Amino acid sequence: MKEEILQRSIDPAAQVMLAVAEKEHLETAWDRFEKQQPQCGFGELGVCCRHCNMGPCRIDPFGEGPARGVCGATADIMVARGLLRMIAAGAAAHSDHARDVAHTLKLTAEGKGGGYAIKDEAKLRRLAEEYGIPLDGRSTQEIALDVAHAALAEFGQQEGPIRFTRRAPARRVDTWQKLGIDPRGIDREIVEIMHRTHMGVDNDYVNLILHGLRASLADGWGGSMIATELQDVLFGTPQPVRSEANLGVLKADQVNIIVHGHEPILSEMIVAAAQDPELVALAKEVGAQGINVAGICCTGNEVLMRHGIPVAGNFLQQELAIITGAVEAMIVDVQCIFPALADLSSCFHTKFISTSPKAKFPGATHMEFHEETAYDTAKAIVRTAVENYPRRNPARVHIPDEKSECMVGFSVEAILAALGGSLDPLLGAIKSGAIQGIAGVVGCNNPKVQHDYGHINMVKELIRNNILVVTTGCNAQACAKAGLLRPEAAELAGDGLKGVCQALGVPPVLHMGSCVDISRILVACAAIANTMGVDISDLPVAGAAPEWMSEKAVSIGAYVVASGIFTVLGTVPPVLGSSNVTQLLTAGAEGVVGARFAVEPDPFKAARLIVDHITAKRAALGI
- Asked if residue 365 lies in contact with residue 326, where contact means CB atoms within 8 angstroms, the answer is no
Return the H-helix or E-strand segment holding 62: none
Return the H-helix or E-strand segment holding 435: none
The nearest distance, CB 176 to ligand NFS, in angstroms, is: 24
The nearest distance, CB 90 to ligand NFS, in angstroms, is: 8
CA-nearest of 602, 521, 601, 607 to 565 is 521
The nearest distance, CB 337 to ligand NFS, in angstroms, is: 9
Return the H-helix or E-strand segment holding 564: none
- According to DSSP, residue 110 is labeled T
Applying CB under 6 A, the span of 133-141, 321-329, 398-406, 545-553 interacting with ligand NFS comes to 545-553
b/e code 76-104 from CB counts within 10 Å (16+ = b) = bbbbbbbbbbbbbbbbbbbbbbbbbbbbb
Is the Cβ of residue 49 or residue 144 nearer to ligand SF4 in the bound state? 49
Cα dihedral 458→462→468→474 (10° resolution): 0
Contact pattern for ligand NFS over residues 107 through 146, marking x by CB under 6 A: ----------------------------------------
# binding residues, ligand SF4 (CB under 6 A): 13
70 binds, among ligand SF4, ligand NFS, none (CB under 5 to 8 A by kind): ligand SF4
Chosen residue from 54, 67, 135, 620 binding ligand SF4 by CB under 6 A? 54
Q: Is 199 near ligand SF4 (CB under 6 A)?
A: yes
Distance CA 573, CA 583 (A): 13
Is the Cβ of residue 404 or residue 514 nearer to ligand NFS in the bound state? 514
- Asked if residue 381 lies in contact with residue 458, where contact means CB atoms within 8 angstroms, the answer is no
The nearest distance, CB 210 to ligand SF4, in angstroms, is: 20
473 binds, among ligand NFS, ligand SF4, none (CB under 5 to 8 A by kind): ligand NFS
Is the Cβ of residue 125 or residue 451 nearer to ligand NFS in the bound state? 451
**What DSSP string describes 185-231?**
-HHHHHHHHHHHTSTTS---HHHHHHHHHHHHHHIIIIIHHHHHHHH
The nearest distance, CB 397 to ligand NFS, in angstroms, is: 26
Is the Cβ of residue 49 or residue 87 nearer to ligand SF4 in the bound state? 49
Q: Is 51 near ligand SF4 (CB under 6 A)?
A: yes
Cβ neighbours of residue 202 closer than 8 Å, sequence gap 6 or more: 81, 196, 208, 211
Chosen residue from 151, 226, 298, 593 binding ligand NFS by CB under 6 A? 298
Residue 361 to residues 4, 294, 352, 355: CA-CA distances in angstroms?
A: 31, 21, 9, 10
Distance CA 363, CA 360 (A): 9
Is the Cβ of residue 386 or residue 556 nearer to ligand NFS in the bound state? 556
Q: Is 552 near ligand NFS (CB under 6 A)?
A: yes
- Asked if residue 182 lies in contact with residue 161, where contact means CB atoms within 8 angstroms, the answer is yes
Distance CA 386, CA 281 (A): 10
Q: Is 69 near ligand SF4 (CB under 6 A)?
A: yes
The nearest distance, CB 602 to ligand SF4, in angstroms, is: 34
Chosen residue from 5, 19, 20, 52 binding ligand SF4 by CB under 6 A? 52
Cα dihedral 103→106→111→113 (10° resolution): 20
Q: Is 201 near ligand SF4 (CB under 6 A)?
A: no
169 binds, among ligand SF4, ligand NFS, none (CB under 5 to 8 A by kind): none
Is the Cβ of residue 221 or residue 315 nearer to ligand NFS in the bound state? 315
Applying CB under 6 A, the span of 29-37, 374-382, 383-391, 546-554 interacting with ligand NFS comes to 546-554
Q: Is 297 near ligand NFS (CB under 6 A)?
A: yes
Q: Is 362 left (phi over 0), alpha (psi -120 to 50) or beta?
A: beta
The nearest distance, CB 69 to ligand SF4, in angstroms, is: 2
Provide the residue type at 130 as one letter. E
- Asked if residue 508 lies in contact with residue 498, where contact means CB atoms within 8 angstroms, the answer is yes
50 binds, among ligand NFS, ligand SF4, none (CB under 5 to 8 A by kind): ligand SF4
CB atoms closer than 10 angstroms to residue 23? 9
Chosen residue from 345, 388, 466, 550 binding ligand NFS by CB under 6 A? 550
Q: Is 311 near ligand NFS (CB under 6 A)?
A: no
Distance CA 604, CA 213 (A): 28
Applying CB under 6 A, the span of 21-29, 49-57, 535-543, 587-595 interacting with ligand SF4 comes to 49-57
Is the Cβ of residue 246 or residue 514 nearer to ligand NFS in the bound state? 514
The nearest distance, CB 94 to ligand NFS, in angstroms, is: 8
The nearest distance, CB 212 to ligand SF4, in angstroms, is: 17
Contact pattern for ligand NFS over residues 456 through 495, marking x by CB under 6 A: -----------------xx---------------------
Is the Cβ of residue 69 or residue 185 nearer to ligand SF4 in the bound state? 69
385 by Cβ neighbours in 10 Å (0-12 / 13-18 / 19+) ranks as buried
Applying CB under 6 A, the span of 50-58, 229-237, 527-535, 538-546 interacting with ligand SF4 comes to 50-58
Q: Is 449 near ligand NFS (CB under 6 A)?
A: no
CA 530 to chain centre: 25
54 binds, among ligand SF4, ligand NFS, none (CB under 5 to 8 A by kind): ligand SF4
Applying CB under 6 A, the span of 54-62, 114-122, 443-451, 550-558 interacting with ligand SF4 comes to 54-62
- Asked if residue 184 lies in contact with residue 162, where contact means CB atoms within 8 angstroms, the answer is yes
Applying CB under 6 A, the span of 68-76, 145-153, 295-303, 482-490 interacting with ligand SF4 comes to 68-76
CB atoms closer than 10 angstroms to residue 436? 24
Distance CA 30, CA 591 (A): 40
Distance CA 430, CA 618 (A): 9
b/e code 498-514 from CB counts within 10 Å (16+ = b) = bbbbeebebbbbbbbbb
Q: Which residues bind ligand SF4 (CB under 6 A)?
A: 49-52, 54-57, 69-71, 73, 199
Q: Which residues bind ligand NFS (CB under 6 A)?
A: 262, 297-298, 315, 336, 443-444, 473-474, 514-515, 550, 552-553
